[in-house]
Amino acid sequence: MSWTLDDFDYPLPQELIAQAPLNRRTDSRLLQVGAPLVDLRFSDLPTLLSPGDLLVFNDM
């Protein structure tokens, strides 16, 4: 499967865009992309990782 930037361009109503972080950051939502899409919580991230996986953090 080949992805382009256009694959991630979709209408998103302004009221659905988070304006501030949650009090409990671990309650943040996480979308697992695949077949099918899976709606998770950020706290589920460790269960998705395997030895040798690379995480890239953006602090900007």
Q: Residue range 9-16: average pLDDT? A: 87
pTM of the model: 0.58
Q: Please, which residues have CB within 8 angstroms of residue 41's CB and are 6 or more apart in sequence?
A: 26, 27, 28, 29, 30
Alpha helices in the chain (DSSP H): 45-48
Q: How far apart are CA 40 and CA 30, in angstroms?
A: 5
Q: What's the pLDDT score for residue 40?
A: 95
Q: How confident is the model at residue 44 (pLDDT cuts 50, 70, 90)?
A: very high
Q: Residue range 48-52: average pLDDT? A: 95
Q: How far apart are CA 27 and CA 40, in angstroms?
A: 9
To the nearest whole percent, how much of the chain has pLDDT over 70? Answer: 98
Q: Residue range 18-23: average pLDDT? A: 86
- Whether the CB-CB separation of 28 and 22 falls below 8 Å is answered with yes
Q: How far apart are CA 40 and CA 56, in angstroms?
A: 19
